Structure 1
């Protein structure tokens, strides 16, 4: 396993936002999808559904960062968002697609996850897109922060519990690694600088953006665990 830094939340702004909605984050870490990943009992069908929906989500996530860059006030803000977008396009999306091929080869059943964005995925990506259109680079960075931070928190929490040869270890390796840790720390440093430019007048609004995105993170795991697709697109195991 790759060595890793211990702290997923390193920036002052991120710490403040994270502390503003503790109940949501407690429910995130307690979710059965993640608990079953740790024990190796999560069904392949659920993980396939998750990967299919997460791939659609990440494609929109990258576009949202491009929108944020277009609405940025300064060139350095453009660069910060471009770096985050490049990570999604160059690293996370290819990894998702490779894992998806592997899990299909292992016999994971089709539960309709590839047929269209499920309602929760659509709600989450629509929220991000709306935030980008209505706001600026700061709004976008705050909206994507729960996803970026929670994945490292989750992976760091589970990595010592999971069997070394588990399929889910491959998913975690990227998020516990130093490469992702450095990028996440830099992202939070950039967020601190950007937040300092606008001052404290937007604190309440930014906390609401962060809390909504955090709630949608929990909802996304819940959707994946229950394979919740639009009723006319859902596929029952053994019939699709």
Structure 2
């Protein structure tokens, strides 16, 4: 069993919870209220800026030229490709980018940046992997059941598409490669980081579904 297979095995119940979440189910049905998707898109734009920073930090830690290039490309594409998607919906809904992070976005981005900065390359990679991998699996699942003329089809197509699939495959291969040379302790840290980011994925969607705000 590959190391990434072990990672997925440990979050399988959590992934099923994500798939059954109201945000994901209503997104697939095309019935998700526009206000909730707008909240999500605004927060996602903030998230991706810091996600790109975390990937850039990993590029600095990498030693193999191929890995440095790969992380740099991932960081660039996280901004370039998905910004196009965000701008489409910003224009469609006539909304502006948010400037304030809500609770889940704040927690998730700070976890990623702290992990990338203070932990090993392998642990940092495990922390950013759920954003790639879970989104691909959710995208493909929604694509298979999406309603015709879904207002969120552009989002679905992005994460279910071949280009994103290729990126995720590259990240999985890199994670397995790093795990091979990691110590048992470091592999445990990779599993813990992967699990924590996976939990925060659920919270990110849940915040949007609940239109969560800071309580105090």
- TM-score, normalising length from structure 1? 0.84
More helix by share: 2
Aligned partner of 2:45 among 47, 55, 63: 55
Aligned partner of 2:158 among 174, 194, 212: 174
Alignment pair present for 1:41 and 2:31: yes
- State the alpha-carbon separation in 2 of the partners of residues 151 and 104 from structure 1: 26
Task: Please give the secondary structure, in 1, of the residue aligned with 2:209.
Answer: helix
Alignment pair present for 1:120 and 2:104: yes
Aligned partner of 2:72 among 61, 77, 82: 82
- State the alpha-carbon separation in 2 of the partners of residues 192 and 219 from structure 1: 26
Unmatched tracts of structure 2, length 5 or more = none
Q: Rate the CA distance shift 1:93–1:137 in 2: closer, same or farther, 3 A.
A: farther
Give the alignment of 1:87-126 within 5 angstroms: 87-104=77-94, 114-126=98-110
- State the alpha-carbon separation in 2 of the partners of residues 187 and 224 from structure 1: 27
Match in the other structure for 2:207: 223
Aligned partner of 2:135 among 138, 151, 155: 151
Q: Is the 8 A contact 1:141 1:191 kept in 2?
A: yes
Match in the other structure for 1:31: 21
Unmatched tracts of structure 1, length 5 or more = 1-10, 233-240
Match in the other structure for 2:196: 212
- State the alpha-carbon separation in 2 of the partners of residues 164 and 103 from structure 1: 20
- State the alpha-carbon separation in 2 of the partners of residues 12 and 182 from structure 1: 18
Task: Please give the secondary structure, in 1, of the residue aligned with 2:94.
Answer: helix
Question: How far off is 1:199 after superposition?
Answer: 4.5
- State the alpha-carbon separation in 1 of the partners of residues 205 and 100 from structure 2: 17
Alignment pair present for 1:197 and 2:187: no
- State the alpha-carbon separation in 1 of the partners of residues 101 and 173 from structure 2: 33
Larger radius of gyration: 1
Q: Is the 8 A contact 1:163 1:169 kept in 2?
A: no
- State the alpha-carbon separation in 2 of the partners of residues 94 and 141 from structure 1: 25
Q: RCO greater where, 1 or 2, for CA within 8 Å and sep 6 or more?
A: 1
Q: Is the 8 A contact 1:148 1:184 kept in 2?
A: yes
Question: How far off is 1:127 after superposition?
Answer: 0.3
- Give the CA RMSD over aligned residues: 1.9
Q: Is the 8 A contact 1:142 1:209 kept in 2?
A: yes
Question: How far off is 1:115 after superposition?
Answer: 4.3
